[in-house]
Amino acid sequence: MEITIEPWKELVIHEVLELKFDDWITQIIASARSAGGGIPTIFWAGGLAFHFATFPDTETIVQEKLKGRIHYSSVTFAIKEKFEKQVNREGGAVNFTDVTHNEIFSKLAEKLRSQSKFK
């Protein structure tokens, strides 16, 4: 039996939104509270906090994935130099997961950081 590991070839992002970190945290906490609570989790890599949204796995999207292309409908990010497991603010908290070890997320963070308006 042969096992093949075939990495993704391309990540296509259809919308990018950059926010100031404190503004984004306030927005995330407010959204979590209005949805009934819980502590949301955001990814962190290379000095960047980010969250992405994907498309549903329609036939077209699955075909794209089989060709090696991932499509994110949107990515929201903010500069956050230092990694912290949790940030607490009045009214709530946000958890962070360090995904620096993931090659795609590291490259994504590098690309977004290079285009940041708030660096």
Handedness of CA 106, 109, 113, 114 (dihedral sign): positive
pLDDT in tens, the chain (119 residues): 999 999 999 999 999 999 999 999 999 999 998 888 789 999 999 999 999 999 999 999 999 999 999 999 999 999 999 999 999 998 899 999 999 999 999 999 999 999 999 87
For 78, the domain range is: 20-114
Q: Report d(CA 85, CA 110) in Å as an integer.
A: 21
State residue 35's pLDDT score: 82
The domain tally of the chain equals 1
Q: Report d(CA 16, CA 41) in Å as an integer.
A: 19
Q: Report d(CA 27, CA 51) in Å as an integer.
A: 13
Q: Does 79 fall in a domain? A: yes
State residue 81's pLDDT score: 96
Q: Report d(CA 96, CA 84) in Å as an integer.
A: 7
Q: Does 2 fall in a domain? A: no
